[in-house]
């Protein structure tokens, strides 16, 4: 008997019969104790005196377990913080030029890698815009940098083409001028100074240019780039530790660390470079006052300055005021090398020209103690005596000869220069008359 199969069509349900989802009222979440100490209790379990006890009520064993968990979590964090503190203190050092304490944690290998990466980045971004070494702007910057570096005993500037593969010696500096209308200059690890043509149009003389270059040389001399890298690594560690302790995964802690530590540290570095740069340019016989006028003029032109608390650099007015206050001490403590050399050579020549008084024999004093007539001595019998300021004969009247045979002298007059004016009688009897 053959079976006849009939296709089954899917049933259609009217939308009216579809049940709408119900919104259940929110129930309060279990408390910290309920989540931590909830336990299972069998029906009729009366062993151990658990009958009639609330199963959610914590007991002593549960508290011990929770204490072990807290110790594992926060004890590890405390141990990690202690190790980090010891690491931080062991890597503190002082800046020789300013005696400022800083954290420095950069190895020699990391320094070499950073130099190679920064140079490769410079060539990739601005390599096509770097002016040749025979350009007038490049020669100007190299000349000022050469004087600034050599006068301070920091090495010398070398003129080398961009594609040169020659190794850079420890006392060699490279200077590049980028033909871009950007008012900026910076220094890279490895003693490489980069100046944009927009900054050259901003400066008005070589003294202001020396101030810009001295600032960048100071960055390299102190190692501010490496110090900033060390601080960045430390802040990453602190950000991770804060998020671990608070149980959050937001960028709020990183923003707070940047505002409270990184940005103020960057502004401190900039002011420190300004101070050291002033010393370098003063020693190289440039005028430090030119830097004050530069920042004052720059402040008038730059109207889009960000607020200082969110900036990596101090304000232009603050820098000009700080530099103006440093100039007197810088001029006295770091005088021009050329003037010092000239003064030393002049002093040596003066000592060499003086007649010798004999070996270990003291020279005779120019004025002996006791009474001595100050009558000028004539060089020859026929020579006429020198005229006094009032036109009278000097030799006929000795104003300091006490008790002499001079008819114009009076007994009891003092013989000291300052006690009696020799021409007071001819000046109307007034003492200290016109010489």
DSSP category for residue 259: I
Active site residue 216: yes
Distance separating alpha carbons of residues 320 and 410, to the nearest angstrom: 66
Name every residue whose Cβ is closer than 8 Å to that of residue 203 and which is 6 or more positions away in sequence: 209, 212, 294
CB 196 within 8 A of CB 185: yes
Q: What angle do CA 248, 266, 226 make, to 5 degrees?
A: 90
- Alpha helices (H) along 91-223: 108-126, 136-151, 197-202, 206-222
For 297-306, the CB contacts below 8 A with 24+ separation are: 297/204, 298/183, 298/202
Q: Count the alpha carbons within 13 Å of 334 in the hemisphere toward its beta carbon.
A: 22
Distance separating alpha carbons of residues 127 and 59, to the nearest angstrom: 73
| Active-site residue, selected from the candidate residues 216, 227, 270, 333 | 216
Distance separating alpha carbons of residues 233 and 414, to the nearest angstrom: 82
Question: Which residue in 220, 218, 230, 242 sits closest to 90, CA to CA?
Answer: 230
CB 213 within 8 A of CB 145: yes
Distance separating alpha carbons of residues 101 and 93, to the nearest angstrom: 6
CB 176 within 8 A of CB 193: yes
Catalytic positions, written as ranges? 216
């Amino acid at each position: 008997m053959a079976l006849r199969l009939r296709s089954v069509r899917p049933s259609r349900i009217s939308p009216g019969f579809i049940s709408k989802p119900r919104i259940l009222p929110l129930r309060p979440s279990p408390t910290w104790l309920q989540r931590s100490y909830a336990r299972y209790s069998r029906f009729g379990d009366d062993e151990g005196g658990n009958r009639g006890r609330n199963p959610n009520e914590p007991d002593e064993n549960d508290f011990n377990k929770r204490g072990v968990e807290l110790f594992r979590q926060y004890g590890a964090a405390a141990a990690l913080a202690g190790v980090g503190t010891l690491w931080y203190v062991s890597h503190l050092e002082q800046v020789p030029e300013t005696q400022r304490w800083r954290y420095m944690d950069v190895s020699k290998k990391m320094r070499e890698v950073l130099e190679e990466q920064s140079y490769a980045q410079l060539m990739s971004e601005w390599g096509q815009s770097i002016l040749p070494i025979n350009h007038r702007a490049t020669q100007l910057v190299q000349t000022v940098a050469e004087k600034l570096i050599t006068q301070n005993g920091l090495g010398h500037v070398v003129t080398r083409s961009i594609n040169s593969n020659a190794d850079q010696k420890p006392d060699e500096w490279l200077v590049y001028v980028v033909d871009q209308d950007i008012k900026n200059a910076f220094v890279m690890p490895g003693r490489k100074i980069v100046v944009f043509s927009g900054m050259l149009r901003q400066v008005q003389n070589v003294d202001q240019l020396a101030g810009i270059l001295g600032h960048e040389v100071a960055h390299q001399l102190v190692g501010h780039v490496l110090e900033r890298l060390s601080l960045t690594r430390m802040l990453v560690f602190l950000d991770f530790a804060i998020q671990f302790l608070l149980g959050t995964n937001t960028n709020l802690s990183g923003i707070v660390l940047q505002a409270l530590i990184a940005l103020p540290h960057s502004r401190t570095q900039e002011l420190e470079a300004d101070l050291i740069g002033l010393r370098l340019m003063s020693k190289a016989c440039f005028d430090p006052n030119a830097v004050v006028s530069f920042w004052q003029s720059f402040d008038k032109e730059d109207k889009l300055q960000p607020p200082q608390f969110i900036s990596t650099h101090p304000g232009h007015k603050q820098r000009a005021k700080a530099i103006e206050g440093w100039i007197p001490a810088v001029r006295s403590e770091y005088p021009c090398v050329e003037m010092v050399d000239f003064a030393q050579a002049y002093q040596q020549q003066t000592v060499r020209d003086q007649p010798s008084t004999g070996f270990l024999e003291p020279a005779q004093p120019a004025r002996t103690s006791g009474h001595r007539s100050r009558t000028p001595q004539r060089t020859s019998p026929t020579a006429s005596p020198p005229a006094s300021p009032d036109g009278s004969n000097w030799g006929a009247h000795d104003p300091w000869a006490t008790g002499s045979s001079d008819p114009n002298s009076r007994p009891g007059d003092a013989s000291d220069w300052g006690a009696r004016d020799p021409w007071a009688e001819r000046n109307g009897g007034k003492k200290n008359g016109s010489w």
